[in-house]
Chains A and B, each alone.
Chain A
């Protein structure tokens, strides 16, 4: 499935993501990592912390609605894969980010932005296996 190359909107969206990361650090002193936020929502021992994470996620989920108000359409979600692949991929992502301690937002944006060596290594690892996986699935197995 072809997708349109969108350098400007992707750059602009990236700027907003970076801005959100900086604001969360400036105001609340935290890394904006989706893995950490979600992981914390699955613990219930600190209600103050839990509400803060819940507010972040509610705000995130409101993003597409504000996008809808501004542009007249929802962000596109196209799935060139089966539901089974979504489920299996999700399970693997969950295990991986638990052990790896972060994902694209936490390591890829926040960690790399403060030049954490752990995050640089993590980013290289997940990028490399994502390239390899897509190549295998699309050009070796499915090719």
Chain B
């Protein structure tokens, strides 16, 4: 049952990405190209998602626990440190180069487009590379 609901949730997300156009790097990159072929669609995707998720989370998180688990797993870190800022800034650079982000690329697997697999292979390389670096350098104090 848990796996079936997870599959369906994934499907809704994947369908959302497909319908929104966010699996398409050309469209994503055009959102960032204010001075050129600007396409504001991505802002509408974010607006639609937040319009549902803000009230939806408020309702759900007011409950004592999720349906299939004992508790909600929410991030407990609150610090805004160099790691968060530089990491996110780095992500934006890569996003601006490739036009894919992880959430757009995972559903895009279903299209079978070779570029998606190239992106995901590089993405996994980056994730594992960062994991190795992080294991070597013990967590420093927040900036």
Q: Which residues from chain A sit less than 8 Å from chain B, CB to CB?
A: 1-7, 9-35, 37-39, 42, 51-53, 55-67, 74-81, 83, 85-105, 107-114, 116-118, 121-123, 125-135, 137-139
Contact = CB atoms under 8 A, between A and B. Distances in A.
Contact of B26 (A34, A42, A80): A80
Contacts of B143: none
Interface of B, helix, strand, loop or mixed by DSSP: helix
A129 B89 contact: yes
A64 to B, nearest CB: 4
List 9 tightest A-B contacts by C-beta distance, closest first. A94-B126, A63-B14, A59-B10, A14-B48, A13-B20, A89-B98, A99-B87, A90-B122, A133-B96
Contacts of B3: 51-52, 55
Pick the most buried of A22, A81, A88: most chain B CB atoms within 10 A of its CB.
Answer: A22
Contacts of A53: 6
Interface string B23-58: 111110110111111011110111111111110110
Given A18-B48, A104-B101, A131-B96, A96 B90 contact: yes
A10 B97 contact: no
A113 B56 CA distance: 9
Given A56-B7, A59-B11, A63-B15, A129 B122 contact: no
A111 B97 CA distance: 24
A111 to B, nearest CB: 8
B10 A57 contact: yes
B9 A24 contact: yes
Interface of B: 2-27, 29-30, 32-37, 39-42, 44-54, 56-57, 59-61, 63, 65-69, 71-75, 77-80, 83-111, 113, 115-116, 118-131, 134
11 contacts: A14-B46, A18-B53, A21-B57, A27-B66, A77-B24, A86-B25, A88-B94, A94-B126, A103-B103, A105-B13, A129-B92
A99 B102 contact: no
Given A10-B20, A89-B99, A90-B94, 7 more contacts: A20-B9, A42-B127, A86-B98, A86-B115, A91-B126, A92-B91, A130-B95
A77 B25 contact: yes
Contact of B13 (A6, A20, A80, A128): A20
Given A13-B18, A133-B32, A64 B53 contact: no
A89 B24 contact: no
